[in-house]
Amino acid sequence: MTDIAKYLPPILRHDGVCFLNGDGALAVRDRRAYPFEDKWVLCRDFREAADAIRAMVTQGGGPLEVSLQTLRLCARERDASPELFRACAETLSAARPTNAAAARELARLLPEIEKLFAAGTFSPEAVDRIAQRALDAFDAAYLKIGEKLEARIADGDGILTTCFAEHSFFVALSLAREHGKRFRVFIPETRPYLQGARLTAPSLRELGFDAVLVTDGMPAHFMAEGKITKYVTASDAALRDGTVVNKVGTLANAIACAHFGIPYYATSTGIDERRGRRDVVVELRDPEEVKRVRGVPITRADVPACYPCFDVVEPRLVTEIIAPEETLCPNMR
């Protein structure tokens, strides 16, 4: 299998997301501090890992890797049992309910771990192997998605993204560059946590890509000027009917793309078969987060605010959902 680490910025490599340290804790890179500080949050059990996910210590694909490593952490507890792992899976899955990948993978792996107990073969090493197989499978999936996405990138493209499009996006861009394609990436800041400004833009620059930071309100302006020709995002959930759930702001950009005839490609490690649009509960975060930027107030304390964290993008606005084994074309149905 191709080692995709060479295509990724350090913040997305496995040990750049989280790892088990020698003191029996899970160290999770604090993306809230990046790129200004290199801070890590230590989690000593699954509850603390879930707290870190809820607090946005990590986001996007981060909760998936944290969840897999937390299984390894639970396997090292003295009272490890099927009940412990069930509580772990339930708590982690509920930490960011709109983000589907971690919950889907935990639901798949939990029966494997329960079988170890039933067969009397449970050990930390056995859980390590289960977690590693899952990580390897996701690396293979990211590579497949990246290869598909790279085929949609043309020489001279202006590529808009939203938030932190994660592994497959960087794989696709790296492959496109290897094939001699030139392009520029437009990165909205992504209020209020500024993932575009703090994660995506620095990561692109670290890898030497032509990238420009814009405010969240600027994409339609650059579309009208003909400078944006493709729109690419990850998806916190991709549904079988072609619905995409992703960071708030995605819907506005998708609507603008439809107006200007620009294709919108969403990537996903798997299609969510369990939910329809009516089942998607958009996470509402603390509105106080909207009133501050990195702890600095940007308005009066008595001004009300609201923070829906995700958009639900209807299928007619989505050109393709690119998954490892299939590609959905929702608006061609």
According to DSSP, the residues that pair with 142 across neighbouring strands are none
What positions carry a catalytic annotation?
236
Which long-range contacts does 18-26 make (Cβ < 8 Å, 24+ apart)?
18/58, 18/62, 18/65, 18/66, 18/69, 19/69, 20/69, 20/72, 20/73, 24/73, 24/76, 25/73, 26/66, 26/69, 26/70, 26/73
Any residues with CB less than 8 A from the CB of 134 and at least 6 apart, and which? Answer: 68, 105, 109
Buried b / exposed e over 163-173, threshold 16 CB at 10 Å, is bbbbbbbbbbb
Order across the sheet with 310-313: list the strands.
237-238, 244-247, 310-313
Q: Which two tokens stand for residue 104?
A: 């889907």
Bridging pattern class, strands 327-328 and 320-322:
antiparallel
Alpha-carbon distance 320 to 330, whole Å? 7
Q: Which two tokens stand for residue 238?
A: 């991709």
SS3 at position 71: helix
N-to-C CA span, the chain: 35
